[in-house]
């Protein structure tokens, strides 16, 4: 019996294991973002993704006490630029002061791109390839959003029943979820209104100030028809952007109920209960714990694990419902062990399905609002969620970030606040 008690004392619970601190942990020492601009009409509408990224990085290094020459590799998520912005975003990093000795990787795993970038850097640190790395996301939907830039599927592939599913419009995939799993429009509108209420309250209370780095950009001013005909260059003005442009007050389920369905007659999905078209950039600086200690850098928390799983493309929004259990299982954790879930609100229907399928207390989900109210600059969302999550968690708490992914996937990651 004494021997059994000794063994029992040596057994560490999975939750205790993930919160235990070791020198070879992968830790986050900084996670910041720009404000999120409204697509096509917001403050970033005239700013290309590389310029947005460069301006963000300049402020990032002004904020974080680290020599950029210590960064050994950069992974940057982007969806809409040709080649995931490999050339222009590498150029932006160099222009911001990251030396050419650092590697650069452009990542496009659609809406999970910058979370995948976090995982890429974390894995390189885990296996000893690097000690310090930077995960980024930058997206200008204003400048690049459009069906042609998302790629076309060849006619021969479209003849295949499985292959052609990857071409289903995102809004229709949410309609499929809504009808297949009986998620009413009323329920979706209520969820969307709550997202606006939470985001507006957080924004007006200044809760996002610690994660947003203000940047200055130029906006083109409206032109007269005469000036446009004469092809005169538009006048510009400089503005400092420090506040999210998506949240607004007064949104209710009743006001949302008046909006027409966007994708099918009598559908449930519309502009008010889907994520906003947006622009923004974000970054997460990761390193080994012992390196952070040696540099005297404060530690926000540590990276635990990541999973990406596949789901049927025609209901791609269910991705979090399968990615979250997968990553929890890999870490030996349960849903109840998690204090906060940041789940991307691509659409209210898919978010609700995922929350209910996994059995998550909805009060733990997106306490400061989500993409319906804040906006969803595609590749930036994963890193943005990390920046937000670490401001929501208390010391010792565990958080999960997750999102669905176009063409049928879901991604999720676990972090611990310190």
**Beta carbons of 314 and 173 less than 8 angstroms apart:** yes
Cα pseudo-dihedral 415, 378, 277, 30, rounded to 10 = 40
pLDDT of residue 226: 79
> How remote is the C-alpha of 272 from its chain's centroid?
20
Residues carrying an active site annotation? 111, 376, 404
- Which pLDDT belongs to residue 230? 78
Question: How far apart (Å, rounded) are the C-alpha atoms in residues 238 and 216?
Answer: 7
272-115-324-186 Cα dihedral, nearest 10 degrees: 0
pLDDT of 390 above 70 = yes
The answer on pLDDT for 7 being more than 80 is no
Mean pLDDT of the chain: 96
Q: Which of 124-128, 148-152, 265-269 has the lowest mean pLDDT?
A: 148-152
Q: Which of 138, 20, 141 is nearest to 77 (CA)?
A: 138
Percent of the chain with pLDDT over 90: 92
Backbone angles phi, psi at 259, to 5 degrees: -85, 135
Q: Is 250 helix (H, G, I), strand (E, B) or coil?
A: coil
Q: Report which DSSP code applies to 243.
A: S
Calculated CA dihedral for residues 123, 127, 133, 137, nearest 10 degrees: -10
Mean pLDDT, residues 39-63 taken together: 99
**Tokens representing residue 235 in the block:** 């006048």
pLDDT for 151 beyond 90: no
Q: Residue 1: CB partners within 8 Å, gap ≥ 6?
A: none
Cα→Cα distances 16→13, 23, 292, Å: 5, 16, 22
C-beta separation of 132 from 72 below 8 A: yes
Give the per-residue pLDDT at 147. 64
Whole-prediction pTM: 0.96
Model confidence at 179, pLDDT cuts 50, 70, 90, reads very high
Q: How confident is the model at residue 9 (pLDDT cuts 50, 70, 90)?
A: low
Least confident of 58-67, 138-147, 212-221, 338-347: 138-147
Number of helical (H) and strand (E) elements in the chain, helices listed first: 16, 12
Label residue 413 left, alpha or beta by phi (over 0 means left) and psi (-120 to 50 means alpha): beta
> CA–CA separation, 384 vs 371, rounded Å?
10
Range in 221-225, 239-243, 301-305, 405-409 the model is least confident about: 221-225
- pLDDT-derived band at 228 (thresholds 50, 70, 90) equals confident
Task: Specify the pairing of strand 132-140 against strand 278-288.
Answer: antiparallel
Strands 398-405 and 340-343: parallel
97-136 burial, b at 16+ Cβ within 10 Å, e below that, comes to ebeeebebbbbbbbbbbbbbbbbbbbebbeeeebbbbbbb
Closest CA to 215 of 43, 339, 387: 43
Q: How far apart are CA 35 and CA 27, in angstroms?
A: 24
Cα–Cα distance for residue pair 46/138, rounded to 1 Å? 14
Is 90 exceeded by the pLDDT of residue 49? yes
């Amino acid at each position: 019996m004494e021997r059994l008690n000794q063994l029992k004392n040596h057994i560490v619970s999975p939750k205790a294991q993930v919160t235990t601190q070791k020198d070879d942990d992968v830790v986050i020492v900084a996670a910041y973002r720009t404000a999120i601009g409204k697509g096509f009409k917001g403050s970033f509408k005239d700013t290309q993704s590389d310029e947005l990224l460069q301006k963000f990085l300049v402020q990032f290094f002004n904020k974080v006490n680290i020599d950029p020459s210590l960064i050994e590799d950069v992974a940057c998520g982007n969806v809409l630029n040709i080649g995931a912005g490999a050339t222009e975003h590498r150029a932006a990093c160099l222009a911001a002061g990251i030396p050419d000795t650092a590697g650069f990787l452009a990542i496009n795993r659609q809406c999970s791109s910058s979370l995948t970038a976090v995982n890429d850097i974390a894995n390189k640190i885990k296996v000893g390839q690097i000690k310090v790395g930077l995960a980024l996301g930058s997206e200008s939907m204003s400048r690049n959003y459009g069906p042609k830039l998302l790629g076309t599927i060849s006619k021969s592939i479209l003849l295949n029943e499985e292959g052609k599913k990857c071409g289903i419009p995102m809004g229709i995939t949410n309609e499929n979820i809504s009808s297949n799993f009986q998620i009413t429009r009323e329920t979706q509108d209520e969820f969307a209104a709550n997202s606006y209420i939470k985001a507006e309250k957080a924004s007006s209370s200044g809760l996002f100030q610690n994660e947003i780095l203000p940047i200055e950009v130029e906006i083109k001013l409206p032109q007269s028809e005469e000036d446009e005909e004469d092809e005169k260059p538009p006048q510009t003005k400089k503005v400092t952007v420090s506040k999210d442009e998506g949240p607004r007050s007064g949104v209710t389920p009743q006001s949302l109920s008046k909006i027409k369905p966007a994708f099918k007659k009598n559908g449930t999905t519309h502009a008010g209960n889907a994520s906003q078209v947006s622009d923004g950039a974000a970054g997460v600086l990761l390193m080994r714990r012992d390196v952070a200690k040696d540099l005297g850098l404060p530690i926000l928390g540590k990276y635990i694990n990541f999973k990406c799983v596949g789901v049927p493309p025609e209901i791609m929004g269910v991705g979090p419902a399968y990615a979250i259990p997968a990553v929890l299982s890999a870490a030996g954790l349960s849903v109840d062990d998690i204090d906060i879930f940041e789940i991307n609100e691509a659409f209210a229907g898919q978010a609700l399905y995922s929350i209910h399928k996994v059995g998550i207390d909805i009060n733990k989900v997106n306490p400061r609002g989500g993409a319906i109210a804040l906006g969803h600059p595609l590749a930036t969302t994963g890193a943005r969620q990390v920046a937000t999550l670490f401001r929501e968690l208390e010391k010792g708490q565990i958080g999960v970030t997750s999102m669905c992914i176009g063409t049928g996937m879901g991604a999720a990651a676990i972090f611990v606040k310190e």
